[in-house]
Amino acid sequence: MTERVFNFSPGPATLPLPVLQEVQQNLLALPGVGASILEISHRSKTFEQIIAQAEENIRRLLNLPEEYHVLFLQGGASLQFSQVPMSFLRGSGRSADYIVTGSWAKRALAEAQREGDVRVVWDGKGDNYSRVPQPGEVQIDPRAVYVHFTSNETIQGIQFATGPETGDVPLVCDASSDFLSRPIDVKRYGLIYAGAQKNVGPAGVTIVIIRQDLLEQVPDNLPTMLNYRVHAEHRSLYNTPPVFAVYIVMLVTRWLLENIGGLEQMHAINRQKAQMLYDAIDRSEGFYRGHAQADSRSLMNVTWRLPSEELEAEFVKQAKEAGLHELKGHRSVGGIRASIYNAMPIEGVRTLVEFMEHFRQKHA
Amino acid sequence: MTERVFNFSPGPATLPLPVLQEVQQNLLALPGVGASILEISHRSKTFEQIIAQAEENIRRLLNLPEEYHVLFLQGGASLQFSQVPMSFLRGSGRSADYIVTGSWAKRALAEAQREGDVRVVWDGKGDNYSRVPQPGEVQIDPRAVYVHFTSNETIQGIQFATGPETGDVPLVCDASSDFLSRPIDVKRYGLIYAGAQKNVGPAGVTIVIIRQDLLEQVPDNLPTMLNYRVHAEHRSLYNTPPVFAVYIVMLVTRWLLENIGGLEQMHAINRQKAQMLYDAIDRSEGFYRGHAQADSRSLMNVTWRLPSEELEAEFVKQAKEAGLHELKGHRSVGGIRASIYNAMPIEGVRTLVEFMEHFRQKHA
C-alpha cells in the first residue's frame, strides 16, 4: 500500500486518485492494444480515439459552440504569451489591451511587448496585486486587437468572478489555473489557453480554445508549429503531440463528467473547499491574514500570512509532518499558499483547517 | 498478467520493460514523496534531482565536454526546425547549408526558408531518397552560418554512418530517430536536437545539446520560450517542463548505462538486430526488396517492399496476428517498415525474421 499525502502544490498539482489508478493499471499495456500508452503511435486508431474523446469531453463540459476549436499544444502558457501576440498583434498597426493583475499577467505582458504595441489598461500594483478590477473599472480601447486577462493569479491568490466586458473586442484569457474549475460563458471569449498542470492533467500539454474568426486572422508567415490554423486543420496531429499528457486530460475530463457530474457540481465543491479555508482565516482574530481582498479571493489558491516569518516556517514544517505538503507561499508574496484545485479532496482541506486551528491555539 | 506485443512503431515507440515496470510501481506515489511523479512541483527537490540525473546520464553516455549544455524543451523536432534558423540564420546576412536526405530534412528545410537564405547542398531526390551522401560528396560553403543534416530518416530508412565534415562551420543535427543509439564524436557538432519518442522516452520532450559559442550568438529579441540561452540559464526550469517525460528520459538513460552498459554496447546490439533483418531481405531472392542502398541502410528503421501491394497488406495483417505490430510502411514509401530502436529486444527481431521466412515460403 503506497501512502499518499495531501499535496497542496500550486502546479503540477494533485490529480484524481481514480485517474492515477487507471493509468497505473494499464501502464504496461492498454487493454486490447498490447503496448503502453507511452509507446503507441499518435497515428494509431487507439490514440485518435483518445484525443477525440478528450476534445469531446471538453466540449461537453464547456457547452462549446461549433465555431470553437480545441487544440492540444506544447510549450505551456509561457509559449502562448508569445503565440497570441505573434498571431494577432504583430504587424496589425493596432494595439492590444492588457489587464495586469499579478505575476502571470506581467509575464504575458512582457512577451506581448516584444511583438507590438500594448496598452496596460489596469494594473493592481498600487494594491500589491491583492484584487482584480471590478466591473466598469477597466476602459477598453474599442479598436484594440484583443483584451488579455489572467482569470486566476496562482501566486497572489486572486481570481476574477467573471471576465471583463469587452464588447466586440476579442477577449483572450490565460485560464491556466482555473480552467474547467467552474462554468464559463464561452461565447464571450475569442481565445482561452491553459497549461494542463493545475486542474486537468500533468505538465506537458497546453489546451487552446480558439474561435473560428480569430483562427482565420492568423498570418501565414509564422513558424508552422506556432500557427494555430495548422494545428486546427490537423486536429493537433500536425506533429507528434504529447500523447501521454493528452491521455491524462481525457481521463481527468471523463472523471469531471462522470464522477463529479460537470462544472456546476465542480464549482460547488470548489466554493465549499475555499470557503472552509477563508472561514478559518476570518475567524482567526488576525492570526491568519489573507492576502487577497474579499471580493477577489481565489477559489484555487488561498494565500495568507502569519504574525512572523518564523511562525510561517514553523507552520510549513509542522504541516508537512502532518501529511499536508507544499504549503509554502511563493517568495514574491511570502506566507502560506494552499492550492486546492479540482482534484484536492474536501478531506484534504478539512485536515488543513483542523491543523490551522490547532496551530493557532498553540501559537496565538 | 498483461500481454505485450512486439511493437515496431516508428515513434512513439517501444520502451524498455524495466522502465515501464518502475513507472507503474511508483505511479501513485514516488517512494518517500507521497505524491505521483505526475503531481510533484517542478521546483521540488525531488524533480530537481530527476532532471539533474537525466542530464548527468546523457553527459556520461555521450562523454559530453563541459562547453555543451543539455536542454529539455517542448514542441518536438518540428519546433526545432524553426528555432534553429530563428537563432542563427535570421538577420545574419549569411546563408545556411541544408543536406536533404528525405522527408524530415525537407520539413527542416521548409521552416528554415521562412527565416532566411538557405542553400540546398545535397538532395537525394534523384535516387528517390534511398541513400545519404558519401564523404566528399557535399561541398560546404565555408561562410555558412551552419550546416544542417538529419542523421537518420525514419520514413526512408537511411542513416549517416557519421555526419558530414564541415570544418569550422557549425554542424547542426536532427538526431530525433537515432539519438543515443550509438557513440558519436560530439565535438564535431554545434547543436544536436532530438524528439525523445524514438530511443529515449515518450512523446513530449525534446532534448537539445548546444555548444557554448552557439548559445552566445542567440539574439535577445526572440520570444523568451524560443531562446536557448534562457533555457540554459534556468537549467530547463524557466517555465514548467514536461516533468513526466523528463522522468522517463532519466529512467531510460539509466537503463542504457546500467542494463546495457553504454552506447558502444547499445550500438553492437543495434547492429546485430539490423543485420538480422537485412540478411533476411538479402537472402530472399528478390521477394523482399530493401528501399535503402546498401551503404546507407539505417540501423533504426528497416524498409522494404514485397512483390505486390496485396502481398504487403497481407504481410502486415498476418504479422499483426502473430503479435508483430505496426509494420506498415509510411504511405510516401509504401511497403513494410520495421522500427527497431534501442528498446526493441533481439527476441522481437528474431520473431519477425522467422515470420518473414515463413511468409516468403508460403507466397514466393
Cβ–Cβ contact B82 with A under 8 A: yes
Cβ–Cβ contact A58 with B under 8 A: no
A269-315 pLDDT, tens per residue?
Answer: 999 999 999 999 999 999 999 999 999 999 999 999 999 999 999 99
pLDDT at B2: 61
Cβ–Cβ contact B21 with A under 8 A: yes
Contact A75 B79 (CB under 8 A): yes
Q: Which residue of A has its CA nearest to B239?
A: A78
Residue A297 DSSP label: B
Mean pLDDT score across all residues of chain B: 97
Band of residue B3 on the pLDDT scale cut at 50, 70, 90 = confident
Helix (H) / strand (E) containing A363: helix A346-363
Show the cell assigned to B295: 551503404
Show the cell assigned to B284: 530472399
Cβ–Cβ contact B323 with A under 8 A: yes
Q: B134-143 contacts: CB < 8 A, separation 24 or more?
A: B134/B295, B135/B164, B135/B165, B138/B99, B138/B164, B140/B97, B140/B164, B140/B165, B140/B166, B140/B167, B140/B169, B141/B95, B141/B97, B141/B169, B142/B167, B142/B168, B142/B169, B143/B94, B143/B95
Min Cα–Cα distance to chain A from B276, Å: 23
Beta bridge partners of B191: B172, B210
Asked if pLDDT for residue A3 goes beyond 90, the answer is no
Cβ–Cβ contact B239 with A under 8 A: yes
Domains and CATH numbers, chain A: 18-260 (3.40.640.10), 262-362 (3.90.1150.10)
Contact residues on chain A for B238, CB-CB shorter than 8 A: 78
Q: Which residue of B has its CA nearest to A21?
A: B28
Q: Which residue of B has its CA nearest to A344?
A: B39
Q: What is the DSSP code string of B33-77? A: T-S-TTTS-TTSHHHHHHHHHHHHHHHHHHT--TTEEEEEESSHH
Min Cα–Cα distance to chain B from A220, Å: 10
Residue B12: which of A77, A110, A243 has the nearest Cβ? A243
Question: Is the Cα dihedral B339, B341, B345, B349 positive or negative?
Answer: positive
Cell 517512494, residue located: B31
Contact B35 A221 (CB under 8 A): no
B258-306 pLDDT, tens per residue?
Answer: 999 999 999 999 999 999 999 999 999 999 999 999 999 999 999 999 9
Contact residues on chain B for A241, CB-CB shorter than 8 A: 203
Contact B7 A35 (CB under 8 A): yes
Cβ–Cβ contact B223 with A under 8 A: yes
Cβ–Cβ contact A357 with B under 8 A: no
Cβ–Cβ contact B197 with A under 8 A: yes
Mean pLDDT in residue range B30-37: 95
Mean pLDDT in residue range B38-65: 97
Contact B203 A241 (CB under 8 A): yes
Contact residues on chain B for A205, CB-CB shorter than 8 A: 204
Contact residues on chain B for A79, CB-CB shorter than 8 A: 74-75, 223, 225-226
* ipTM exceeding the 0.90 mark: yes
C-alpha distances out from residue B57 to A85, A183, B151, Å: 38, 45, 22
Residue A224: which of B36, B111, B239 has the nearest Cβ? B111
Residue B317, C-beta contacts closer than 8 angstroms, at least 6 positions apart: none
Q: What is the DSSP code string of A197-246? A: TTTTS-TT-EEEEEEHHHHTT--TTS-GGG-HHHHHHTTT-SS---HHHH
Cβ–Cβ contact B331 with A under 8 A: no
Mean pLDDT in residue range B166-186: 97
Contact A34 B226 (CB under 8 A): no
- Which residues numbered 112-151 in B keep a CB inside 8 Å of some CB on A? 114-115
Contact residues on chain A for B245, CB-CB shorter than 8 A: 204, 242, 244
Band of residue A1 on the pLDDT scale cut at 50, 70, 90 = very low
Contact A243 B23 (CB under 8 A): no
Min Cα–Cα distance to chain B from A281, Å: 25
Asked if pLDDT for residue B135 goes beyond 90, the answer is no
Cβ–Cβ contact A15 with B under 8 A: yes
pLDDT at B136: 87
CA-CA-CA-CA dihedral for B320, B325, B326, B327, to nearest 10: -70
B314-326 pLDDT, tens per residue?
Answer: 999 999 999 999 9
Cβ–Cβ contact A16 with B under 8 A: no
Q: How far apart are CA B31 and CA B295, in angstroms?
A: 48
A45-68 pLDDT, tens per residue?
Answer: 999 999 999 999 999 999 999 999
Percent of chain B past pLDDT 90, that is, above it, reads 97
Min Cα–Cα distance to chain A from B290, Å: 23
Band of residue A135 on the pLDDT scale cut at 50, 70, 90 = confident
Please name which of B35, B11, B6, B16 lies closest in space to residue B260, comparing C-alpha atoms. B16
pLDDT at B122: 98
Mean pLDDT in residue range A317-331: 97
Interstrand relation of A289-290 and A206-211 (parallel, antiparallel or unpaired): unpaired
Band of residue B1 on the pLDDT scale cut at 50, 70, 90 = very low
Residue B24: which of A12, A15, A24 has the nearest Cβ? A24
